[in-house]
Amino acid sequence: MAFLERVEHYVNKSPMWTPAEGALLVNGVMPPPKGCKEIPGDAAQLEDPVRPATQSQLLGARSLLDRYRRDVDNGAASQAERITSDEFLEWCKDGDFLATWTPKLAEFLRHLYLPGDAYNQYPQTVEDELAMWRMVMAAKEMQSALISHARAAGPSPVGVVPPSLQADVGSVTEAVSRASLRVETIGLKRREQQIRTILAGARELKFDPLKIPNRGKQELRVWCKQNRLDLFGNGDDPFDDAWKEARKRNLVSMANQALFAAGRR
């Protein structure tokens, strides 16, 4: 979540970049706090500011900045000292560069294009994804607070939640589980999201995914619809199609699959 928030900050809250700063950002490097017009010899990673930027990242930024300056000389890029983030990102998008020069470009372009656009490979907007992450964090904090309160209330044995609070803790735990499931599938194609949800349901229902009991498949179908109706709809086809794909990949199987297959011959 922190990485998304940092990208959002640079695109929306600090949207005027020098070409050097833009080159650093699309290489996953944080510009110096005071800004820069050249690529520094060392810097921090955008994804994890505790870690130093790699030489590969800095080399990519230098190469991209050199190309930008050549385009300025050719009249193909703005010669302004600072340009908008949108303008720099569009220049990157339209350029014919090595992928190693713009490894984080897709993370920035999703701020310019809606999900479903050719330049946005993500199924959710940044705002929706951030909201989901924040919901997960808030639910986890609430869960922790309820458990701490229950333990402090005593005189229950250590680690045992009093019955009066078990329902609250249970409902919050369920909310955390559902929100976490949505976060885990962010950025995946729809079919992959469906398969991940089926596997999550198997874990939740305590099924071995390769030994689903006779009634287990129907229980999984119901669980998936209850937790991700947006993926499984109102009919049976979405679940059945995802199940078949998961079977092809040997990710799920019925416990009596051999007998079932023999009966169909």
Q: What is the pLDDT of residues 23-67, one digit of tens each?
A: 999 999 999 999 999 999 999 999 999 999 999 999 999 999 999
pLDDT bracket for residue 130 (50, 70, 90) = low
Name the strand (E) or helix (H) holding 86: helix 85-94
pLDDT reported for residue 2: 77
Who contacts 242 (Cβ-Cβ below 8 Å, separation ≥6)?
191, 194, 195, 198, 232
Distance, in Å, from the CA atom of 231 to the CA atom of 108, rounded to the nearest integer, reads 26
pLDDT reported for residue 35: 94
Cβ–Cβ < 8 Å for 60, 43: no
Q: Summarize pLDDT for 165-214 with one digit per residue, the tens.
A: 555 545 555 555 555 555 555 556 788 888 989 998 999 899 999 999 98
Who contacts 100 (Cβ-Cβ below 8 Å, separation ≥6)?
56, 60
Phi/psi for 213 (5° steps) reads: -65, 170
Work out the mean pLDDT of the chain and round it to a whole number: 83
pLDDT reported for residue 265: 47
pLDDT above 70 as % of the chain = 78
pLDDT reported for residue 253: 93
Contacts of residues 112-119 at CB distance under 8 Å and 24 or more positions apart, as own/partner, are 112/86, 119/93
pLDDT reported for residue 188: 60
pLDDT reported for residue 212: 94
